[in-house]
Amino acid sequence: MSVVDSFPLGAATTLAELARDPHPRLALLREREPVSWLPELDGWLVTRRDLALSVMRDAATFTVDDPRFSTAQVVGPSMLSLDGDQHARHREPFTAPFRLREVRAGFASFIERETDRLITALEPAGAVELRRAFAGPLAVAVVTEALGLVGATPARVLAWYDSIVRAVSDITAGREAGPAGTAAYAELRAAVEATVAQTGSASLLGSATGQLTVPEVASNAAVLMFGGIETTEGMITNALLHLLRRPDQLALVQADFSLLDGAIEESLRLEPGAAVVDRYATRDTVLGPAAIRRGDLVTVSLAGANRDPDVFPDPDHFDVRRENARLQLAFAHGPHHCLAAHLARLETRIALQRLLELLPALRLDPERPATVQGLVFRKPSTLHVLWDGTA
């Protein structure tokens, strides 16, 4: 029996379905084929939480260090695309600034000021598309501040990000990347070199040069830029959408803002900004029902693991009081757990609280509904909202 015949549900699963509305299919796979071969993916899809953890914890068997890893093809080796001692070497210089205490001390005031600035500009209108007018600009501003690149404006950082992401997406889709991504990364690398030369160890990037070469610092700066913009923009947008869709849950949060933390974890659980992470098998191995061969692509569905009913009762329900919501895996797990998770949480919490405090009767625009979509990165393309403005 062929591998396709052994996994009929996987054989019938399309990437279009997983991009559009993955959760019914992921639930079926998780129940019947928790590790399944998907011909359209040309790899395995892991949907059960315990098996997902097994993959992400075992970097010796399931590695990111593979020539097929698309991000490394654009920006070179980094903490995102290395394992073992080399991964630790690339990650360690950036660890301390992103610990919880340092994040709160270093970024809370800036995030509050930038959030209020953006909302003040929006407030009189009474209507806006919030992803592009607020969540995206806030994420870009925080990343620009965190990296401390000399002479780099948020607009320039966003332009680099757009070009690099487009190149990575083209490679992932099997297309040849155009020159824009290479050119953008060259500009970013030049900005890193200028920052290191001017600031020395006083900056985040400069301090990293004690352990990394300047090209290695640039590669990791690109990874931090990508993660800080793409997934945080999605995190803010998705969390607000979940709250505005559930007036009962929104009312709980508005009565007690301490519940915002639970709301954010629940949103991450239901729609992680990055729905999947890729690994490559370094040896023949067995995972659940699957005999995996050396070199096989093994994709972990964080979206599937986060709705595992054995861990999360009534898993499709949004509950800001869910006691174990922080068991969600939106920030991955193991050696590649998201370095800036504390910063992303702080940014999202401040953003949501200030939006709810400053925009009276904030609500979804019923004429322009929002739909979460995306195969890898999941968020609505637009989030149109209304409030009682003054214009």
179: domain CATH number?
A: 1.10.630.10
Tell the residue number behind the tokens 């900005």, with chain if given.
191
If you ran DSSP here, which 8-state letter would residue 361 be given?
Answer: T
In a domain, 130, yes or no: yes
Taking a C-beta distance cutoff of 8 angstroms, is the pair 221, 188 a contact? yes
DSSP letters for 19-68? HH--HHHHHHHHHH-SEEEETTTTEEEE-SHHHHHHHHH-TTTEES-STT
Strands 297-301, 276-281: pairing is antiparallel
In a domain, 39, yes or no: yes
The pLDDT, as a whole number, for residue 210 is 87
Which element (helix H / strand E) includes 71? helix 70-75
Tell the residue number behind the tokens 């399309």, with chain if given.
14
| pLDDT by residue, tens only, the chain of 391 residues | 678 879 999 999 999 999 999 999 999 999 999 999 999 999 999 999 999 999 999 999 999 999 999 889 999 999 999 999 999 999 999 999 999 999 999 999 999 999 999 999 999 999 999 999 999 999 999 999 999 998 899 999 999 999 998 898 888 777 888 899 999 999 999 999 999 999 888 889 999 998 999 999 999 999 999 889 999 999 999 999 999 999 999 999 999 999 999 999 999 999 999 999 999 999 999 999 999 999 999 999 999 999 999 999 999 999 999 999 999 999 999 999 999 999 999 999 999 999 999 999 999 999 999 999 999 899 999 999 999 976 5
Which residues span the domain enclosing 190?
3-386
Which residues fall within 8 angstroms of residue 247, CB to CB, at 6 or more apart? none
In a domain, 88, yes or no: yes
Taking a C-beta distance cutoff of 8 angstroms, is the pair 195, 148 a contact? yes
Dihedral of the CA atoms 153, 148, 98, 382 (nearest 10)? Answer: 0
Q: Is 374 left (phi over 0), alpha (psi -120 to 50) or beta?
A: left
In a domain, 391, yes or no: no
Structure tokens belonging to residue 70:
């698309």
Tell the residue number behind the tokens 């607000």, with chain if given.
240
Taking a C-beta distance cutoff of 8 angstroms, is the pair 128, 122 a contact? yes
In a domain, 291, yes or no: yes
Q: Is 361 left (phi over 0), alpha (psi -120 to 50) or beta?
A: left
The pLDDT, as a whole number, for residue 32 is 98
Dihedral of the CA atoms 359, 360, 362, 368 (nearest 10)? Answer: -90
The pLDDT, as a whole number, for residue 236 is 98
Look at the chain and report how many structural domains it folds into.
1
Amino acid at 109: S
In a domain, 181, yes or no: yes
Taking a C-beta distance cutoff of 8 angstroms, is the pair 266, 259 a contact? no
If you ran DSSP here, which 8-state letter would residue 177 be given?
Answer: P
In a domain, 169, yes or no: yes
The pLDDT, as a whole number, for residue 390 is 61
In a domain, 121, yes or no: yes
Query: 331: number of CA atoms within 13 Å, CB side?
Result: 19
Q: Helices 154-172 and 214-245, interaxial angle, to 10°?
A: 90
Exposed e or buried b for every residue in 220-231, given b needs 16+ CB within 10 A? bbbbbbbbbbbb
